[in-house]
Amino acid sequence: MDFLEAMQKIVPDVNRTLCRFSGNQKLWERFVKKFGDDPSYSDLGKAVEENDEEGIERMAHTLKGVAANMGFDPLSEACAKLVSAVRSKKTEEYAEDWTVIQEQHGKIMDVIKDL
């Protein structure tokens, strides 16, 4: 499977994301392959585990941006929901939002590990 075929599994709008990288598929591919090295996901997990609301908000916001830049909209949207829950002090939503983030991140990693 080539890169664009793989991205179609996890990126809702491949063309829009490719445009974000000025049509440079190799550049996008390089960033996608480094996605797993970004510490925001693991740092978010630590913040959730420690119930560190400031850390949760900061790391979820960071991961939201990274995911959005890569075209991983479902992950970005899940992170945005968690950021909103923290800002609204809806602590009862944290666990569910974190579960969705884990699921979305897992789907992405399953696809990009084979690139």
CB 109 within 8 Å of CB 45: no
**What are the structural domains, with CATH classification, of the chain?**
3-112 (1.20.120)
| pLDDT at 38 exceeding the cut of 90 | yes
pLDDT for residue 95 is more than 80: yes
The whole-number pLDDT of residue 80 equals: 99
Number of Cβ within a 10 Å radius of residue 72: 27
Whether pTM exceeds 0.85 = yes
Per-residue pLDDT band at 85 (split at 50, 70, 90): very high
d(CA 98, CA 77): 12
